[in-house]
Every structure is written in structure tokens, then in C-alpha cells.
């Protein structure tokens, strides 16, 4: 492997002219700075098969082999992936932990950075492009005040749109306009529910169900379901430009195949399905049923993260999340925070600010670390010429009980530690009011109608808040310590907060 020519770190000295007389005294040749040594850290927990694609992609990184290393921190996997990594990737350093400590287990490979110029975090279900590293290194080399440089993170598959159109109704005690339930997505007979996307405003978000519908999503009348496609689902005989060894699934190819969706509605309803030029009108009833339509249209890429942001209400978010990639994030920008799924970090930044807070376990630990650094004067840059693709939420499914428990609790932890006092207090108060609102809707409402209460959401929120309260005394101590180290005023940090669009 060779360093990219575009990397300023790998540039050589100017050659000496061969026409200089041998008796002439030459000035000393300036020393060529060594190519920075980079460590890539991959956190693995039951990562089969994604982690092997991840490591194959990292092995193809364009960077001198003697200046690049990969460390896998294994979180006590039980699927045999650690043993296979040891057997098939002997050049990878494998550090096996005796227990699963969540995302902060990355700290195992962030404590011993002597001799490491920069350290990258790459999710075990993320796949780098060969040239991903050079632009990130260049950004950190050019600006010593940057603590981190982050790439454009795209969802791993390309997508086509399947629109689902129906009439709407209002359910008792529910102010939403509801169309029908979508509870299954298949492409050429393969279950693709977890990789499908249900973007607003056409969908109301994934909910937990039962029976044939363990998870479902209500439409609000007309919804654009994003159906993921593997390369094998593309029309044969066409090799996409830019197809990388990582097994990425690029956009821009004409797909072929069949997509099936499982739909249900409270009463028989006429529904129109469209996918590219294909159109199908079906009747959907109370019993969930599968409907098939031929795929059409041009696949497109979707952004997962172009740097991270904090919303005015204290919610962390991915900049560009679920937006079609139309190069709207094609310029390099300073961002408030970075995503731990793919980032290059400066060791001096970690030495000053600290590592991941191990109480988080999963979610918000990266925004917490970025916020701590921001308050101490560090900055971060988004670099769109570095691209990773990410198979989203393979370890903890978005919308699952585990996801909601940690997201709700950890947001309060982050704000208690870092946010202005008013924002932190308001977040806790609004959390309690929202929980009461859910209790009226899901518990008191059904009881008044002699129905069965739905305890799931309320129970999760109560459990999350109880866990937060147990940590509160220690969190207040951390807050006081961080306030003593803060050099950037809250008012300046607050100028970064964005309103939800």
C-alpha cells in the first residue's frame, strides 16, 4: 500500500539538481516528515458477517502498511466472530474483553496511544473506501486546533422509492392522521425490514406490535417507503462506477426484481402502490397481507451523518440524516460534534478532554465527548471527500426497547453534565411531562374506555428516568468539574444549536 499523493503528510522533499558542481557546498536537505502513524479501532460485538467486510475494506486502505494498524476490541462476542478474526486477519491486533461494556469499550484502544499520530474509530458494520484516510489526515495536519475530522457517512445500501397512498382516519385518543400499517418489506424473497427506511412526513415512526406485526409503521395517507437494494438485486451485466472492494452498494443503477410489502388497515381500504413507472391498486383489510410490485426507478444514496449537531431542545442528531445525497454536503465545514461510527481523532485532544464516559453504554457517548471538547476550545471538521458506508443499527435496532431505554436516559446524562443549567433543567421537566402525556394516552385513556392499557412506552420511560436519578449525584459532581475546565462560554456554544426542521 502507498500513501495517497494528495496527502500533505506524504509529500517528499524537492530533488537536488544533478548539475551542481561536486566542489560546491550544498545546503542541508530538509528532513522529510514521516507519514503519520494511524491506528484504526473497530469495536466488535457479535459482528458476523459485517465485521469481516469492515476489516476487508480497512485492509484495502491507501496508506503505507508500516504506518497503519488495525485494533479490534471484542466485547465478549458469542457468535465466533472473534475466533474467525484471529484466524483470518493475523495482522489485526485483537483485544478480547471479558464482558460487554458497550460502545465505551473503545477506550481499551484509546489509552495507549504512544507513537500513534492519529486514531480512527470505525464501526464494525461500516465499510471504508480505499481513499478514506488521506483527506481526514490532511484536515488534522493543516489545523492543529482540530480535535477530530469526520467523513461523510452514507447508508450502506442504495434505495428506490415505493409510494403507498390511501385515505386516512383518526383513532380515539390519537391526534394523528393514520392511513395503514406497514409491517414487512421483502426484496426478491429476502427480508429487508431492518434496512428499509420510513422517513417523515409520510410515516409516523416504528411501533411495537404483536403476532404477524411485531413491528409496524403507520402511514399518514401518502408515504414514500425507501426499499434497499443489494448489488445482486441490480440488473445484470452492469458494473457500477465507483464500486469498492468493501462491498458497498452504490446508487445510479437501474434495479430489477420484485418487492413485497405487508400492509393492514382497520377496514377495507383502496391503496395505490407506485415504484418508478410501475403502479398497482390493491385492497387492504384488517388482516395483514403481502402485496407484490415490480421494482422501477433509479436507486439513490441516503446520508446518515455529515457531522453531528445538537438541537435547541438538547437532542443530538445527525446532520443530513435520511436526506437523499444530492451533494448538498459536498463542502468541508466546521461542525459542532462528530459521530463515533466513523471519525479520526487527535490523541492530544483525548489526553486533554478524556475518553468515553463508560456509564453511557450506548448512544450519546460521542456527542458527550465532543461537547466536552468544544467547551475546552477544541473544534471539529467535516470532510466530504472521505466516505464511509454504514449498515445502520445492526447491534441495537432503532426503535427497540434497548434503543429507547439508552437514548432517553443518556440524553439527560449528557445535558446534566454539559448543558447550560436552564437547558438541562427544562429537558428533565419536559421528559416528565411527556411521560405523563404518554400515561394519559396509553394507560388512562384505554382504562376510561374499559380497554386494556398499553404499558410499554410508559414503563420504558420510567425505567430510564429511574436509572438517570441513580446517577444524578455523581453527574452533578462531574458537571462542577467540567465547569471549572470550561473556556468557551455557554452563550457561544449555544450559537451552534439548531432548530428541528
- 82 secondary structure, DSSP code: H
Has residue 5 got a pLDDT over 50?
no
The lowest-confidence range among 27-31, 84-88, 247-251, 384-388 is: 247-251
pLDDT at 2 over 90: no
Instruction: Give the C-alpha separation, 278 to 287, whole Å.
Output: 25
Grid look-up 453504554 returns 361
Q: CA 220 to CA 293: how far, in whole Å?
A: 21
The sign of the torsion formed by the CA atoms of 452, 456, 462, 467 equals positive
pLDDT at 63: 98
C-alpha 432 chain-centroid distance: 28
- Band the pLDDT of 246: cuts 50, 70, 90: very low
> 143 - beta bridge partners?
none
Burial of 449 (0-12, 13-18, 19+ CB in 10 A): exposed
For residue 88, pLDDT beyond 70:
yes
Most confident segment among 35-44, 383-392, 433-442: 35-44
**Tens digits of residue pLDDT in 199-215:** 999 999 999 888 999 99
Contacts of 31 (CB under 8 A, 6+ apart): 13
pLDDT score of 173: 75
Average pLDDT over every residue of 10-20 = 39
What radius of gyration, in Å, describes the C-alpha atoms of the chain?
25
At residue 433, does pLDDT exceed 80? yes
Confidence of residue 403 (pLDDT cuts 50, 70, 90): confident
Q: What is the pLDDT of residues 322-381, one digit of tens each?
A: 999 999 999 999 999 999 999 999 999 999 999 999 999 999 999 999 999 999 999 999
Which of the four pLDDT bands, split at 50, 70 and 90, describes residue 395?
A: low
Determine the pLDDT at residue 45: 96
Cβ-count burial 293-322 (b if 16+ within 10 Å, e if not): bebbbebebbbbbbbbbbeeebbbbbbbbe
Q: What is the pLDDT of residue 442?
A: 83
**Residue 335 near residue 319, CB atoms below 8 Å:** yes
Split at pLDDT 50, 70, 90, the class of 308 is very high
Q: Which of 154, 221, 223 is nearest to 185 (CA)?
A: 223
- Indicate whether 245 pLDDT > 60: no
Measured between alpha carbons, how far is 136 from 384 in angstroms, rounded to an integer? Answer: 9
CB 190 within 8 A of CB 228: no
Lowest-pLDDT range of 18-27, 291-300, 353-362, 409-418: 18-27
Q: How far apart are the first and last CA of the chain?
A: 44
Task: Give the pLDDT of residue 454.
Answer: 81
Residue pair 279/272 in contact by the 8 Å Cβ criterion? yes
pLDDT score, position 400: 62
Q: What confidence category does residue 134 fall into, taking pLDDT thresholds of 50, 70 and 90?
A: very high
Distance CA 383, CA 371 (A): 19
Given a contact cutoff of 8 angstroms between Cβ atoms, the answer to whether 342 and 388 are in contact is yes
> Cα–Cα distance between 30 and 44 in angstroms, integer?
43
Q: Is 297's pLDDT higher than 80?
A: yes
Residue 244, pLDDT > 90, answer no
Of all residues in the chain, what percent carry a pLDDT higher than 70? 86
Q: What's the whole-number average pLDDT of the chain?
A: 88
Has residue 411 got a pLDDT over 80? yes
pLDDT tens-digit readout, 139-163: 999 999 999 999 999 999 999 999 9
pLDDT at 404 over 80: no
| CA 54 from centre of chain | 15
Q: What average pLDDT does range 305-328 have in this prediction?
A: 96
Q: Categorize the per-residue pLDDT at 174 as very low, low, confident or very high, splitting at 50, 70 and 90.
A: confident
Is residue 99 within 8 A of residue 73, CB to CB? The reply is: no
DSSP state at residue 54 = H
* pLDDT more than 90, % of the chain: 76
User: Using an 8 Å Cβ cutoff, are 184 and 262 in contact?
Assistant: yes
Amino acid at each position: 500500500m502507498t500513501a495517497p499523493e494528495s496527502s500533505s503528510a506524504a509529500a517528499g522533499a524537492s530533488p537536488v539538481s544533478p548539475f551542481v558542481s561536486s566542489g560546491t557546498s550544498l545546503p542541508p536537505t530538509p528532513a522529510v516528515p514521516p507519514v503519520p502513524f494511524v491506528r484504526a479501532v473497530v469495536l466488535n460485538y457479535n459482528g458476523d458477517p459485517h465485521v469481516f467486510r469492515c476489516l476487508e475494506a480497512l485492509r484495502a486502505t491507501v496508506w503505507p502498511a508500516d504506518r497503519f494498524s488495525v485494533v479490534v476490541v471484542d466485547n465478549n462476542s458469542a457468535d465466533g466472530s472473534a475466533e474467525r478474526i484471529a484466524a483470518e486477519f493475523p495482522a489485526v491486533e485483537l483485544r478480547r474483553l471479558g464482558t460487554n461494556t458497550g460502545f465505551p469499550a473503545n477506550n481499551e484502544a484509546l489509552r495507549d496511544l504512544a507513537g500513534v499520530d492519529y486514531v480512527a474509530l470505525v464501526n464494525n458494520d461500516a465499510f471504508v473506501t480505499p481513499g478514506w484516510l488521506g483527506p481526514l489526515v490532511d484536515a488534522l495536519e493543516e489545523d492543529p486546533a482540530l480535535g477530530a475530522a469526520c467523513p461523510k457517512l452514507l447508508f450502506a445500501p442504495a434505495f428506490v422509492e415505493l409510494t403507498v397512498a390511501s385515505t386516512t382516519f383518526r383513532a380515539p385518543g390519537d391526534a394523528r392522521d393514520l392511513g395503514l400499517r406497514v409491517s414487512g418489506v421483502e426484496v426478491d424473497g429476502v427480508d429487508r425490514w431492518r434496512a428499509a427506511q420510513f422517513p417523515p412526513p409520510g410515516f409516523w415512526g416504528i411501533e411495537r406490535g404483536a403476532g404477524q406485526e411485531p413491528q409496524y409503521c403507520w402511514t399518514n395517507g401518502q408515504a414514500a417507503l425507501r426499499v434497499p437494494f443489494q448489488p445482486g438485486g441490480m440488473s445484470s451485466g452492469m458494473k457500477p462506477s465507483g464500486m469498492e472492494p468493501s462491498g458497498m452498494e452504490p446508487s445510479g443503477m437501474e434495479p430489477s426484481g420484485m418487492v413485497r410489502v405487508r400492509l393492514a388497515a382497520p377496514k377495507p381500504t383502496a391503496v395505490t402502490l407506485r415504484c418508478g413507472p410501475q403502479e398497482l391498486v390493491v385492497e387492504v383489510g384488517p388482516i395483514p397481507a403481502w402485496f407484490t410490485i415490480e421494482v422501477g426507478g433509479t436507486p439513490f444514496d441516503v446520508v446518515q451523518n455529515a457531522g453531528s449537531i445538537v438541537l435547541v431542545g438538547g437532542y443530538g442528531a445527525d446532520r443530513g440524516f435520511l436526506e437523499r445525497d444530492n451533494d448538498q454536503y459536498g463542502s468541508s465545514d466546521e461542525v459542532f460534534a462528530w459521530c463515533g461510527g466513523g471519525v479520526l481523532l487527535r490523541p492530544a485532544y483525548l489526553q486533554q478532554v478524556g475518553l468515553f464516559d463508560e456509564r453511557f453504554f450506548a448512544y450519546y457517548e460521542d456527542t458527550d465527548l465532543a461537547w466536552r471538547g468544544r467547551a475546552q476550545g477544541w473544534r471539529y471538521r467535516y470532510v466530504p471527500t472521505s466516505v464511509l458506508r454504514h449498515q445502520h443499527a445492526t447491534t441495537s435496532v432503532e426503535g427497540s426497547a434497548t434503543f429507547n431505554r439508552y437514548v432517553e436516559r443518556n440524553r439527560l446524562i449528557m445535558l446534566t453534565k454539559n448543558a447550560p443549567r436552564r437547558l438541562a433543567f427544562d429537558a428533565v421537566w419536559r421528559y416528565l411531562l411527556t411521560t405523563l402525556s404518554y400515561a394519559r394516552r396509553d394507560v388512562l385513556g384505554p382504562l376510561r374506555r374499559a380497554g386494556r392499557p398499553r404499558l410499554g412506552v410508559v414503563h420504558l420511560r420510567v425505567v430510564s428516568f429511574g436509572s438517570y436519578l441513580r446517577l444524578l449525584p455523581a453527574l452533578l459532581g462531574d458537571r462542577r468539574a467540567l465547569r471549572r475546565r470550561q473556556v468557551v462560554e455557554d452563550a457561544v456554544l449555544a450559537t451552534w444549536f439548531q432548530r428541528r426542521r
